[in-house]
Amino acid sequence: MRAQKKSRAVLLLSALLGLSVPPFVAPTEASTREPLELRIKNHRYSPEILEVKAGERFKIRVYNDDPTSEEFESKSMIIEKFIGPQRSILITLGPLKPGTYDFFGCFHPQTAKGKVLVK
């Protein structure tokens, strides 16, 4: 009950401040699957498209194989994470509604880009 009140308060505050809120849905069951793998190499994400189920939380392990830093950023999923050179991070996202959510690398946005396809 307390979590519902907090969620409503965040939505109300976001609306009052004119902030966008990602299209979340109520979670079903926490996903026990292994994290999806995403690699950055030569300033490109591979694979460029990740597929996940709607309404479930999911994890992405992002490996930066480049000798330079990069970011995993998504305006539609409201996330921005720094990844140092030759490092990896684990990101937990969702649950999301069906749709396509873009992500990109802030330091190389022309080449480091991809999508999360939610079905």
Low-confidence ranges of the chain (pLDDT < 70): 1-32
CB proximity list for 76: less than 8 A, separation 6 or greater = 22, 101, 102
Residue 91: which region, alpha, beta or left (left: phi > 0; alpha: psi -120 to 50)? beta
3-state class of 10 per DSSP? helix
Note the pLDDT of residue 11.
52
Indicate the pTM of the whole model.
Answer: 0.72
* Per-residue pLDDT tens digits for 67-79: 999 999 999 999 9
Domain ranges of the chain: 26-118
Note the pLDDT of residue 2.
54
Task: Please compute Rg for the chain using Cα positions.
Answer: 15
CATH superfamily of 26-118: Cupredoxins -  blue copper proteins (2.60.40.420)
Note the pLDDT of residue 33.
80
